[in-house]
Structure 1
Amino acid sequence: MSFDLQNNKSWSDPTSGEFKRQASSFRETISNSHPVFKPEPKRYHLYISLACPWASRVSCARALLGLTNVISLSIVHWYMETSPETNVANPTAIKGWRFLPVDDKSEFTTIDNGDKNNRFGVVSDLSPYLANNINNCTHSFANCDNDGNKYDFDGTIDHINGFEHLRDLYYSSNPNYDGRFTVPVLYDIKTKTIVNNESSEILRMLSDNEGLLQFSDNTKQQIDTLYPEKYRKEIDYWNEKIYETINNGVYKTGFAEQVQAYEKNFYILFESLDEVEDHFKQKYADSDIVDNNKILHFVGDQLTEADIRLFVTIVRFDPVYHQHFKCDLKMIRSEYPYINNWMIKLYNHPETSAFRDTTNFSHIKLHYTRSHKRINPLGITPIGPCPNIKSLDSI
């Protein structure tokens, strides 16, 4: 879940300084037994941020499962707009995630016009910029404008409704909505309402053989399920553990408002990373690490949702969380060789290209460093580390 953040004290405990994550509000599912939300190809639409790890879970799964022609996609601008007022207590006063404007100057002008809008495809298909090599370090962010509207860089329009802000989508679904405006959002085009905004539930929904997965394109499918029955107990164990201590742990560390809360969550985070490193080390031999053709799996002998849920945090760790969230005890690339090897192989191998295709380091770096004014008031985006992720040749 990525959310609108003007003053993060609004989202922290005033006594302990601990970061508080909001529970998602839209919790419907897509199934044949549901009275409204039936599985149908091209009926549902995803709204995501390329910066947000929670949204990236879903976009990665969509690509891995061959659902890019089944579920369309819109991408918010990397900069989260904030109200000019300070200490805003009312979330509705915060502008939050926005889309690029619908105008006559771009090919992305027609609402709900299929592939003209490039709303079907993986993230790297959505614009010429994203189709280029974005692995290496961006050498300057000076020309990246918070208010910019570059259709080949900053995001997309809202392909379905033409809304200006994500909050408009929330209010159109529920005029009395009073929560935060988060991504990802799974939206029903037919009934014009939000189905679900909880990433873990959307992730599980996409892997349901009786749901949208039945319409998957086999030529694009890289895995047929992310939640295999024989590994479910182990997947559930690791999902719960890494959510509290790693996925949300970096946020609890970075958004802490008191030093005691920061240090508490800081050490819990690295203890958990140490445990994951030991897990890989016990599971794989040294020869597996040096073999560039050997993909490591977090659980079992295949890709699962546990890989996705861990990857989206780990791939952001060195470029952002290490410096921006002050998670600086260790770096993945230098102190966690097994985790680093697992990440590099998922990112670089053709058979797991969805991980690479749904990762955008420019959006990641720009969003965190420009949008979190309390943490980085000057909005200067660090250029390093270089490269953002190492290549297979570096293993």
Structure 2
Amino acid sequence: MRSGYNYPCGRASRARLPTAPQGARRLKRPNMYFSDPFTAMQAAVDIVAGSPHPTNKVAATLFGRNVGLSRTNYWPEPILTAFGKEQDIGNSSGTVHAETACIIQAMHATEGSSICVTDPFCPNCAKNIAEAGIKKIYIDHKGFEKDFFARRGGHFQTMSMQVCEKAGVSVYELWRKDERLVPIFEAPANFVPDEDSPVYKEPIQSPTEAVFHDILAAGFKNHQKRKFAIALVSDAHDKYFALTVRAHAVTGFTMEDPEDIDMIQRHEEKYSFFQEPINRLLMYMARHGLTLLPDYLFCSQVPTSREQVNLIGAGIKRVTVGDPAKARDITAIEAMWQLSGAGILNYT
């Protein structure tokens, strides 16, 4: 049985907020102090009504030593202008989820941070949270009372929570009025999750076409028929790196465990425990405070519909695709034609 306890307030930390893209709601003040998850959750609650979604309004606050921002779920302006709110992008909605928006729009590394969410999170956001190195999730208790959770709560129990348990992400139900936390899952101290296929990070002298082509050649040689992505990035000290990311089960799952293999092979509607390479890449960059260098993003095949929406949410406008006729499913190719036809994403 779960029991609540009072949370000791820690030292306040200054947060620097990036500029929110059009369509996303953000905190009105340029800097916020989040000394505890209760003030962070209140920041999310304060903006949730401003979500442009007509029925499922969700907000989140990402907070930690160097990061603090709140976002709602929203349609990126290019998608909203070209397609409106009703049309899907491939088989994905055109919205960026609040949790993912916080991660991909953070200006500082998300490693070790925490996130507050007004509603229980979907399996896709659970995977992104785990890959972004976030260690604690707080869910407003009222989120468990909503009709959407009553209809879709099975995914939270059978997939979202399993991702968190495997990745070592603690999850709490938060009661703002009482300033009380109810543990749903608490990861063991100093827990290190399994990771079969870590992101390969290689320092480079300078970002040039020649360097990029050499990295691509190595990627094709090393990964052959596997789906992978490559990016050239910079860090806060203006040092350059090449990242190579392979599609793989989310952090915490291993192909050495037969039970994990059975879980990885399981799909529930549009959800799985598999993490696509572009999403892995976006989360790794956020985790380590890395910035993509324009024109140096590659994916061996067409990204999934959801990945393409997340790329737009991250402000990315160009991706080079190795085989534009190959994708996980036909809807990814449909999404590519939609977005390229509207001039939103440039596929080269």
TM-score over 0.5 (shorter chain) = no
Structure with more of its chain in helix, by fraction: 1
Structure with more of its chain in strand, by fraction: 2
* TM-score normalised according to structure 2 size: 0.33
Q: Which has the bigger relative contact order, CA under 8 A and spacing at least 6?
A: 1
* TM-score normalised according to structure 1 size: 0.30
